[in-house]
Structure 1
Amino acid sequence: MDRLTDQAYEPAGDHILNPDLPDYGEDLEQVRDAAVLIGIVDRGTEASILLTQRTAHLRSHAGQIAFPGGKIDEDDDGPVGAALREAHEEVGLESDLVEILGDLGDYYTGSGYRVVPVIATVKPPLILSPNPAEVDEVFEVPLSFLMNPENHQKKSGEFRGKTRYYYAMPFEQRYIWGVTAGILRVLYNRVYA
């Protein structure tokens, strides 16, 4: 799979804003591979990004805003296959509406995942059916909002006894933060900055 650009990138991740914390990508004994789909919906004059609100009963990241995605299974055709499968399972997105553009490289999370953000265009009209076991809601946020650095807030909180920094991109009643906002910031840095 092609990177979005020909430039080679250092792995990105939660550790970039937190140099006093270990580099999650190198210090973890076992990293789990995952992929997410950054679905850019072509709305003519305004493109948007497809996001989900996770259900409140999930064991991890309950109620948070996320890209469709998850663990890469052995049967998947790499990160692209996993991202497409998960998008279909979570929101009912049909792969024939998706055109893969490339990926952003590896993004390491503090929870032990090496995530490959797969970028694609998605053709409307979209008839989506969120899986109620995983997703409360599917929605779109304008790409212009997410790629405006004035909307990228650097926040902090307590994590394992130390101050931890992360990005947040509040939009209307939505609070986009953590890994999702971090990946969006990588998209901004690598494509738009």
Structure 2
Amino acid sequence: MAFVILEAGDPLGNSLTAHATNIPGCITYPAVEEGSTFEIKHHMLSILPTFHGLSTDDPNMHIAEFLMGCKNILVKGLSAESIKLRLFPYTLKDQARRWLLTLPSGSISTWNQLSEKFLNKYFPASKTLDMRLSFAQKPNEQFHEAWERFKELNRKCPHSGISSTDQVHIFFRGLNMTTKTLVNASCGGSYKDKNAQEACLSFEKMAADTQ
């Protein structure tokens, strides 16, 4: 067992007393122009979203809304990259904020690194594949409802890398037999006779007609 050597005269209780420590941050900020200052004001945070890290939170939508908000925040002498790195931590709450504090000191120096780590944590590749490959039309779900739900899944995982052609196949395979017949009839024989863009346009038209 190793013993901590206290300075002469230090009470033994000092070794058990909690002390505030300066925890190094995981983000290294870009250099700013000489004389520039940055103060986070209430109106900046008020236009930014918040993310708590719950299973119901949408990390992709959080980033999209964050970037939209950042476009309206301009600070002389600071790049857009620097503004995003400085503001993003303040959009994280509860367990999401605690996750950020666990990252290694100085491990992030760009917005791409930060957003990638965030998505890898809250929207890993396994979740992307599960959402896409498990798609199936629900009982009593109308075509337009299934199509809108599938597009919402695509919106939630834009980083999946699944091609538009494969997306069309995944959607069609998830439909019930009755709907598949209607889709092929709407496409003039078979949806496979069209390219991905044409098939999506046909799906959009069919969704509008059935709705």
TM-score by length of 1: 0.29
Q: Which has the higher contact order (CA 8 A, sep 6+)?
A: 1
Pair member with larger Rg? 2
Q: Which has the higher helix share?
A: 2
Comparing both structures, which one devotes a greater share of its residues to strand? 1
